[in-house]
Structures are given as C-alpha cells and as structure tokens.
Chain A
Amino acid sequence: MKSLVLENLSKTYFDPYRGTQFTAIKDVSLQVGEGDFVAVVGPSGCGKSTILNMIAGFVPISGGRILVDGHQVKGPGPDRGVVFQSHALFPWKTVAENVTFGPKMRGVGKAERARIADEYLALAGLSHAAERYPNELSGGMQQRVGVVRALANNPDVLLMDEPFASVDAQTRMTLQEELTRIWEERRPTVVFITHDVSEAVFLANRVVVLSKGHVLAEVAVPLARPRSWTRLVEDDGFKALSNQVLQLVRSA
C-alpha cells in the first residue's frame, strides 16, 4: 500500500447550452499517507464523488495533479481499487469469480486464484457463498464482496464511494465494524467518501469536510482502536468529534 497526494486539484465542466464554465472542484489539496484512512464528508453536490472519480481516473481532471506512490494518474488502473455504492459486481460471474477478476486480468493461474478466493472470502466471512451469483445475495453480502474484490487485487490505494449508503441501518453498522477490523489487520491506504458523519468519524483517522468544491476543514480522529459501536456509541470523545464534524457539515 502506497501514499496518495492531491495537488491543487480542480474540475470545471463546460455547459454547451449556456456556453459557460461551471466549477465543480477548486484547488483541493490532500495528502494521504501509506496505511492511512481518510474519510471525505460533505453535503450532496459538494463534489466529493467527483474527487473520487478523478482519483480513480474515470473523469479527466481540469487542473492540478494526482500522485499515487509518486506516479501521476492517467486514467483508471489496478493501482487504485474502487468500491462502488451500487456494488458493481458482475452479475454473470459467481462471487468467487468476481473476487478473483483482478488477478485473472493480471494472468494469475487457476490454482493461485482459487487460493486468493479462499483467503479473501474467509476475510469477508463469505466462504459459504463462493459459488453463488451476486443477484442471489443480500445487499450487505454484495457490498462485502465488493470490498474484498477491490482488496484481492492488491491496490496501492482503496477508494470507497459511499459503499454502505444503500443497506439497512443494522447491516451498515456490521459492515463498518468489519471494515475497521479488515483495515486494522491489513492497513490499506483508504479514501472513504460518505455523507454520514458518524460513519466517517467511526472509520477514519482523519475526516476532511468538503464544501462547494473546496476543503472546509480537516479533523483528526485520535480515537483508540480496535473500534466497535458498542463502545463508541457511549464514548464522549466520539460524541464530541461527531458533533464538531456535524457542525462543520451543516455550516457548509
């Protein structure tokens, strides 16, 4: 896992009907160290998904630079794993085939792929579902597969775009706890986009608050690990931090 640097990143769209430029992102700079976990929060329309899409290489940048492990980003690539809100699993591939899609593209052999599938499905607690199709899984299981599919490809940076936004509240808390567990075990470099303040504070080492396309504030989260909801829900430090971030988001 390697570091991620954003330097004066900006994004403008051309509106062909009005003939004017529209600025979605202006002058965003951010450093994510190796093995760090950064959450980006902000109200909808603040540009957080645009930033993630630019880091992933899905959307071209208008200005500034994006560096992964010192190399400038040009288009999508396997050095940045992406977890999508809509899980984006391939419906015609089984769970195991989805998880080993990245290694298969690299030309990893069949036996090694089977080992990777075993390892990562065990990590997600999904060993029993290896031969099922995504359509046959619950929403929470689909997201788990989405997360380990990205991890199994050994990316330098893991980009997560509101991955838990469309599952029910109970499942979301379980998934958040599993994600911290996996992160604590393997220490990937993570950028996590969300609009849920307590999710951001629960998961991250650092929370970046975004407003109208620029960085409003950065808040460090010095809470002890391992983290679990049963402990943090009554924790004063957690409450204070959540409140602080919430005030920032609401003022945005």
Chain B
Amino acid sequence: MIAPLQLLWGYYMRWTVRWPALAAFVPFLPLIALWSLIVSLGVFPRAFLPGPLDVLSKGWALLYKGILTDYLADSLARLAVGAAAGMAIAIPLGVFIGLNRRAYEISWPILLFFQAIGDIAWLPILLVWFGFGLTTMTFVIVYTVLFPVVLNTVLGIRTVKPELRRAAQSLGASRTRILFEVMLPGALPNIITGLRNGLGYGWRALIAAEIIVGTSGIGFLMFDARRAGSVEEIVVGMIVLGVLWYIVDSWLLAPIERATGQRWGLVTT
C-alpha cells in the first residue's frame, strides 16, 4: 500500500513542478473519492448526503435549464455593483479621514461601531424601509464593502512613513502631488487588503441577503432547494460559491496584493 502511494506522490511532485495549476485541483480528488466512499457505504441517508454523481447530474440539469447561469449572473452583478459603489465612496472618504486629524478623531469610533453592527443586522430595518428587493440587497453589499475599505484606507494613509512625506516636501512636491505620488501609493497595499476583506464579507452578506429576501441568485437557489428538500441542489450551490470565490480570491485579489506588496517591500499580510 505504501509503495504505490509513494510512487504516486513522486509523480504528483514532478507534474506540479511542470504545471503548478495542478496543485489547485488534484488535492480535491482524494476528498471526492472519500465522499463517494462514505455515500456508497450508506452511513447517512441519501436525503442528507448525496453522492458526487447525484450532485454532478443535478448541476448539469440546472446548467442545461439555464437557471444556474442566470442566478450566477444575478449574484455576480449584485456583488459587482455593490463593490464598485462601496469602493467609490470608501476610498475618497478613507483618504480624507486619513489626512485630517480632526476628522479622524471624530469619525474613527463611529466607523468602528457601524462596522461592528454588521451588514446582516441591517436587513430587518432595510426591509421596513425598502421592502424585499434590489435596493435592500445593494445597500447591504455597499455597507459591507464600505467599512473594511474605509478603515484600511485610513490605516494605510496614516501609516505612510513621515520621512517619505518629508522627502517629497523637500524635493519640492505640492500638496496635490504628495497626495498622488506618496500618500495613495503608500496606502495602496492596505487599500487592497481592505478590498479583499470587504469582498469576502460582502459576498457572504450577499448569500445571506439572497436567502432572506431573495427572488433569484445562488443564495436563493440554495434556500429554495432547502424548502423543497433537494439536498443535491444545495450542494451544487455551495460548490459553485466555493469555486467562484476561490478563483476570484486566489487568481485575482491575492496576486494583486502580492504584486504591490512584495516588489515594493510593503507586504501587509
């Protein structure tokens, strides 16, 4: 048993050196094998834990009917709109608060408090105000993305080394030039970290909002399936969410964070 495993491991090491992308997929294979083993042994009833093939065929059916792509597009559009609006407000606000001592002292406790309330706790009052619909959902996502980005932008601006500002001043840079050439690039790694956190929270908030108020979207799909007792559909939803976020986070956000942080020597995570 040991020898074939070692042989396999050796192959795996060699192939991942040639195609590093393999390392992101292959580890899931034993997990899927374990999953089908548990299902075929009948430890849990099928209605509780479906097998990989059941899930796959359900996923194919949903894809074929176009429901999955429609719902996915809905969820992503909501997230994109919310994230864009959140950033558009958060970055200028964070820069302003970070540069202005008085504004910082007044707003910091308030920002911390509103961040602590958390997006999802806003849902009930938003439902009272706006009813079940897009406004409520957009508000929740904007709110969720806003705070991590503002807080991190403020932190980034405030932790730009004072010598860098002084160096720019004594090289003759104006206030505007200092803002764009020194303060913003200096805060960029923090801003990206904030964005990464904000999207992580925003995406969870979206699922919750879709479960509670939704009429479409992946969260709605999952909870609708829950009502109908279709466990395969729930698992399809979870896998889609996981894969999607895995791709966004590890192939888009993390590399940007590393590119700015590492080359400049400003690693923040």
Contacts and interface: CB of A to CB of B under 8 A. Distances in A.
Interface of A: 56-58, 75-78, 80-82, 84, 86, 88-92, 101-102, 105-106, 133-136, 149-150, 153
A77 B170 CA distance: 5
Contacts of B181: 90, 101
Contacts of A56: 166, 170
Interface residues of B, number: 23
Given A92-B185, A92-B264, A105 B172 contact: yes
Contacts of B172: 77-78, 102, 105-106, 153
B268 interface: no
B164 A90 contact: yes
Interface in B136-177: 161, 163-164, 166-174, 177
Contacts of B182: 90
Given A91-B265, A133-B263, 14 more contacts: A58-B166, A77-B170, A82-B167, A84-B163, A86-B163, A88-B163, A89-B167, A105-B172, A105-B174, A134-B265, A135-B263, A136-B263, A150-B171, A153-B172
B177 to A, nearest CB: 6
B161 A153 contact: no
B167 to A, nearest CB: 4
B170 A78 contact: yes
Contacts of B186: 91-92
B188 interface: yes
B266 interface: yes
Nearest to B188: A92
14 contacts: A75-B169, A76-B166, A78-B171, A88-B167, A90-B182, A91-B186, A91-B264, A92-B185, A92-B188, A102-B171, A105-B174, A134-B265, A135-B264, A149-B167
A106 to B, nearest CB: 6
A89 B264 CA distance: 11
B169 A76 contact: yes
Contacts of B168: 90, 101, 105
Nearest to A58: B166
B171 A133 contact: no
B177 A88 contact: no
Interface string B32-44: 0000000000000
